[in-house]
Amino acid sequence: MALSVREYRARIRSTESMKKITRAMELIAASRIIKAQQRAQSAAPYARELTRAVSAVATYSNVDHPLTREPEDPKRAAVLIVTSDRGLAGAYSSSVLKEAERLAEKLRSEGKEIDTYICGRKGEAYYKFRGRPVVQTWTGFSDQPSYDAAHEIGKALIEAFLAEDGEHAVDEVHVVFTRFRSMLVQEPTDVRLLPLEVVEGEERPDSAEVLPLYEFEPSPEAVLDGLLPQYVQSRIFFALLQAAASELAARQKAMKSATDNADELIKKYTRIANQARQAGITQEISEIVGGVNALADANAGNE
Residues that bind another protein (CB under 8 A): 39, 42-43, 45-46, 49-50, 52-53, 56-57, 146-147, 150-151, 211-218, 222-223, 226-227, 230, 233-234, 237
- Based on CB atoms, which residue is closest to another protein, 25 or 157? 157
Minimum CB separation from another protein for residue 237, in Å?
7
Minimum CB separation from another protein for residue 212, in Å?
4
Residue 265 parent element (H or E): helix 220-302
Minimum CB separation from another protein for residue 129, in Å?
34
Cα separation, 163 vs 254, in Å, equals: 42
Minimum CB separation from another protein for residue 67, in Å?
16
Sequence length of the chain is: 303
- Based on CB atoms, which residue is closest to another protein, 65 or 112? 65
Residue 194 parent element (H or E): strand 186-194
The SS3 call for residue 77 is strand
- Based on CB atoms, which residue is closest to another protein, 14 or 146? 146
Residue 206 backbone zone (phi > 0: left; psi -120 to 50: alpha; other: beta) = beta
- Based on CB atoms, which residue is closest to another protein, 49 or 287? 49
Cα separation, 5 vs 153, in Å, equals: 57
- Based on CB atoms, which residue is closest to another protein, 207 or 299? 207
Cα separation, 36 vs 248, in Å, equals: 8
Cα separation, 63 vs 227, in Å, equals: 13
Minimum CB separation from another protein for residue 144, in Å?
11
Q: How far apart are the first and last CA of the chain?
A: 43
